[in-house]
Amino acid sequence: MSFFESVVVITGMFLVTFGVRFVLFARAHKVVMPEFVEKALRFVPVAVLTAIITPMILMPTKTLDLSWHNPWLIGGVAAFTTGVWRQNQLLTISVGVVAFFVAKYALNF
C-alpha cells in the first residue's frame, strides 16, 4: 500500500468515526430518554466488564477450569469477596491483583 493510499484510508476512517459520533452528540441534548432507559443504561459498564472478565477467569486455557490451581479464579474470588464486603473499588482491585500474583508465583500454580 502506498503512502497516498494509507492517507486516504486513515482519512476515511476518521470521517466515518467522527461523523457517527458527531451526529449522536449533536442530537444528544435534544433527545429526552425515559427514566427507565436512563436507569438501565447505568448498568451497561458493569455488564460489559463482566462479559470481558468472566471468560478470562473461568477459561484461562480455553477450557473451563474451576479448580484452585487457576490463579485467575483465585484472584477473581478474592476481588469479588472484598468488593461485596468493603464496597471499595481500589481495595477490591488491589486484593484481587495481589491474590492473583500470590497464587501464580508464590504457590507455583
Please tell me the distance from the alpha carbon of residue 26 to that of residue 94, in angstroms, as a whole number: 39
On the question of pLDDT at 59 being above 80, the answer is: yes
For the whole model, what pTM was predicted? 0.66
Statement: residue 109 has pLDDT above 70: no
Looking at residue 62, its pLDDT comes to 92
Radius of gyration of the chain (CA): 21
Task: Over range 34-55, report the average pLDDT.
Answer: 92
Q: What pLDDT is stored for residue 48 in this prediction?
A: 93
Quote the cell numbers at residue 94: 488491589
Of all residues in the chain, what percent carry a pLDDT higher than 70? 98
d(CA 65, CA 43): 28
Q: Can you tell me the distance from the alpha carbon of 33 to that of 24, in angstroms, rounded to the nearest whole number?
A: 14
Reading the block at residue 10, the C-alpha cell is 486513515
